[in-house]
């Protein structure tokens, strides 16, 4: 059999493109030859490469894991107050706190499927937020809507105080914020700022290590990507720093994290989260599990924001 005739075979596939150098088909990751704008595209697939040919409508969502919740910005807030980015939202921005249906794509990304019908609860929540009130006395509000409301209150307090936050840092308090309003939100944000200041002093007090001159090994982004994928995370970017170090940006549990690691060993130098000065006890491969534990214990504090 002459296998050469299969090497040039071109197939057609409709896939969601979220940005970056690759696109995920159901069974494999493909390199995009010329990145298009994010959206649904019909791709010509040849081997391990994909070329965007024309915009297309969504396909292949039926049968994928279904998630429901309420919108907070570009995030779907669902059970457990999880606030996860949802990709390929409609061009026309949905109303605040809209109920949304999304599907889990093959690479783990949430993809918008449809807006769902609203009830009275969504309109009441919008009114309470506009008037600076809370949901303490409002009945029959779904938990995901209460959480989305709490995140929106925190967002307003964050702008006023100039203190950034990520949803995973406040997940455990977000329902309390929905009930208690702006004072509770401000107290949580100030606590985050205090913990970050303590972390900064610890980092500043560390002894400076001398530059090391090691024989460069062919590690590169491929080894970093493998280490993160084995831990359930996804590499987003790398940047080489001085002293044989790498800045690694990766996605995990719906958030972006930035860590600095040793290029040769991938041992963590600065995790980008508060680890009480124990950053070097962690490797890039084990860092996601540490992050997961901190989220579940409601003690995560992010010190490097993307």
Q: What is the pLDDT along the chain (306 residues), one digit of tens a residue?
A: 554 454 568 899 999 999 988 999 998 999 999 999 999 999 999 999 999 999 999 999 999 999 999 999 999 999 999 999 999 999 999 999 999 999 999 999 999 999 999 999 999 999 999 999 999 989 889 999 999 999 999 999 999 999 999 999 999 999 999 999 999 999 999 999 999 998 888 777 666 554 444 334 445 678 898 899 989 998 889 999 998 999 999 999 989 999 999 999 999 999 999 998 889 999 999 999 999 999 999 999 999 876
**Who contacts 36 (Cβ-Cβ below 8 Å, separation ≥6)?**
17, 52
Q: Which two tokens stand for residue 218?
A: 């062919």
**Dihedral over alpha carbons 68, 73, 74, 75 (to 10 degrees):** -40
Residue 133's SS3 state is coil
- CB 181: neighbour CB atoms within 10 A? 21
- With contact defined as beta carbons under 8 Å apart, do 217 and 232 qualify? no
**Who contacts 131 (Cβ-Cβ below 8 Å, separation ≥6)?**
none
Q: What are phi and psi of 137, to 5 degrees?
A: -105, 5
The secondary structure of 103-115, three-state, reads EECCCCCEEEEEE
**Cα 154 → chain centroid:** 18
d(CA 116, CA 107): 24
Q: Which two tokens stand for residue 280?
A: 């070097």
pTM: 0.86
d(CA 281, CA 62): 43
Q: Which two tokens stand for residue 129?
A: 């937020």
The reported pLDDT for the residue numbered 222 is 84
d(CA 108, CA 123): 31
157 membership: H or E segment, kind and range = helix 143-161
**Who contacts 119 (Cβ-Cβ below 8 Å, separation ≥6)?**
none
Burial 253-278 (b: 16+ CB within 10 A, else e): bbbbbbbbbbbeebebbbbbbbbeee
The reported pLDDT for the residue numbered 208 is 59
Q: Name the DSSP letter for residue 280.
A: G
């Amino acid at each position: 059999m002459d296998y050469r005739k299969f090497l040039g075979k071109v197939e057609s596939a409709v896939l969601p493109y979220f940005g970056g150098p690759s696109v995920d088909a159901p069974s494999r990751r493909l390199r995009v030859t010329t990145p298009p704008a994010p959206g649904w595209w019909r791709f010509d697939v040849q081997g391990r490469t994909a070329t965007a040919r024309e915009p297309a409508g969504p396909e292949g969502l039926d049968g994928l894991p279904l998630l429901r919740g309420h919108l907070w910005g570009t995030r779907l807030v669902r059970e457990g107050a999880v606030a996860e980015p949802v990709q390929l939202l409609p061009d026309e921005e949905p109303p605040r706190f809209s109920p949304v249906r999304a599907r889990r794509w093959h690479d783990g990304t949430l993809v918008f499927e449809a807006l769902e019908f609203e009830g009275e609860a969504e309109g009441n929540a919008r009114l309470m937020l506009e008037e600076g009130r809370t949901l303490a006395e409002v009945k029959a509000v779904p938990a995901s809507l209460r959480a989305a409301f709490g995140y929106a209150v925190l967002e307003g307090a964050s702008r006023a105080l100039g203190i950034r936050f990520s949803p995973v840092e406040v997940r455990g308090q977000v329902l309390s914020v929905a009930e208690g309003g702006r004072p509770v939100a401000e107290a949580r944000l100030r606590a985050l700022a205090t913990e970050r200041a303590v972390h900064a002093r610890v980092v500043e007090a560390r002894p400076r290590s001398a530059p090391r001159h090691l024989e460069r090994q062919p590690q590169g982004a491929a080894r970093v990507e493998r280490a993160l994928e084995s831990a359930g995370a996804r590499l987003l970017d790398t940047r080489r720093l001085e002293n044989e170090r790498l800045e690694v940006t990766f996605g995990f549990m719906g958030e972006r994290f930035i860590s600095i690691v040793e290029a040769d060993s991938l041992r963590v130098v600065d995790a980008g989260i508060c680890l009480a000065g124990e950053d070097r006890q962690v490797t890039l491969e084990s860092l996601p599990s540490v992050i997961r534990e901190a989220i579940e214990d409601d003690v995560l504090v992010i010190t490097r924001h993307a």
